[in-house]
Structure 1
Amino acid sequence: MALFNNSQGDANHARKMTKQEFMQWLKDVDLNGDGGISRKELRCALKAMNQKFAWFKAWRAMRHADLNKNGVIKGGNEEEALFAYARERLGIVVY
């Protein structure tokens, strides 16, 4: 799984990526290839990014971005909601 790491390698610095890189990151997070992001997949990805309290952050992100409450982030609207949440709450800086 190819996950984004910042150039400094310091977990305390914000991660910087383009929106296109973020959307590719979502595809990489989809470990089972079903086209959606489960809370477990998101938690594993956040842990790999050295996010503290990854389980909690994944839970909160799912509550924010899983618009139809089916337990999977899938589709344009839900991916956009996760993108917005990541910018606001996960320290990901989009340029």
Structure 2
Amino acid sequence: MSNADYARQPKKHFTGASAPYAAAEFAEKYGLTLRSAQILLFVNGPSRVACDAAARAFNEAVAMRNRQRQTANPATPVEKEDALQGRVVHQGLIASDC
């Protein structure tokens, strides 16, 4: 098939469930950042099936990484709260108490 023949073929129009995802729609559906959604859509092309599988795998990988970090560095709720407030806790004393 020559380039001229290819150009004369009707364009495929996607409708409904076969239409490629919009990045914002995909990000919202899977709880992704917009940038993560854009990357997954670019890498997996217009296939919704491939993109859905990639998003599930990505979310599982992120959850696994978070579980590993949690078990490698467990923190008590007080330590977490103090860390969020920017205070340093050392052997039960808060730096501002010294």
Higher-Rg member (1/2): 2
TM-score interval, smaller chain: 0.3 to 0.5
TM-score by length of 2: 0.33
Q: Which has the higher helix share?
A: 2
